[in-house]
Homo-oligomer: A and B are copies of this chain.
Amino acid sequence: MCRTASKQLLNREPGKCKAGKIQDWIIKIHVNILERMKESTVTAYDRFLSMNGLRDTKQRRLIFETFMEQNEHLTAEALYHILQKDLPQIGQATVYRTLKLLCENGFAHELSLHSHGGHAQSSYFEPTLAREHHDHLVCTQCGRHLEFHNEVLETLQEKIAEEYSFELTSHTHVLYGKCKNCHS
């Protein structure tokens, strides 16, 4: 049982044999890395504030921390509702202003996951943090969204940009369709 390929490592119960121990280490290291990243993000945030003469206010700090804890993207409105639990008098404008600030400084980025125009539809925000870059699959029926990442695709994009002498800074890539549950 302990001879199984490393591929299967992560499906095992920990501590059962040497492989189990290795798995424990891996998990420990992983958690550690995440912790460090979080720490360094907070540090980066502090440095960012002081370097730009921006004030460390109660609401700004709370928005930053609450937002960074999210591992799913969410709308400004949704974040606002979460924040209200901790600080009832917080204003929507402050949330929007702070989110914008975070986006402009690499702590967050904004996504438009709606397939097409219509009434203004709210955009989503996600923390840049420890998360790898990813793009999205959106179900046009139930609205569910999945994330995907494909290295070949990323490389391809860079090549295309190069071909047109573009200095690539970001991209939007959303695939729309019907998800497993929604196409009969």
Which A residues form the contact surface with B (CB < 8 A)?
A: 103, 110, 112, 115-117, 120, 123, 137, 139-140, 146, 148, 150, 152-153, 156-157, 160-161, 163-180, 183
Determine whether the beta carbon of A164 is less than 8 Å from that of B146: yes
Contact B140 A166 (CB under 8 A): no
Given A123-B116, A156-B156, A171:B175 Cβ within 8 A: yes
User: Could you list 30 examples of A-B contacts with CB < 8 Å?
Assistant: A110-B117, A112-B112, A115-B170, A115-B172, A116-B123, A137-B164, A139-B166, A150-B156, A153-B156, A153-B160, A156-B156, A161-B175, A164-B179, A164-B180, A165-B179, A166-B175, A166-B177, A166-B178, A166-B180, A167-B177, A168-B176, A169-B178, A170-B176, A170-B177, A171-B173, A171-B174, A172-B173, A172-B174, A172-B176, A173-B174
Q: How far is the CA of A153 from the CA of B110 in the complex (A)?
A: 23
Chief secondary structure at chain A's binding surface: mixed
A167 CB contact (under 8 Å) in B148, B153, B170, B183: B183
Nearest-neighbor residue (CB-CB) of A110 within chain B: B116
Please report the C-alpha to C-alpha distance between residue A90 and residue B132 in the assembled complex, in whole angstroms: 49
Per assembly, the copies of the chain total 2
- Specify which of B110, B115, B139, B157 is in contact with A175 (CB 8 Å cutoff): B157
List the B residue with the shortest CB-CB distance to A96: B117
Q: Is there an interface contact between B152 and A156, defined as CB atoms closer than 8 Å?
A: yes
Residue of B nearest to A165 (CB): B180
Q: Is the CB of A137 within 8 A of B115?
A: no
In the complex, are the beta carbons of A172 and B169 less than 8 A apart? no
Q: Which of B103, B169, B175, B180 contacts A160 (CB 8 A)?
A: B175
The distance in angstroms between the C-alpha atoms of A146 and B168, with both chains bound, is 13
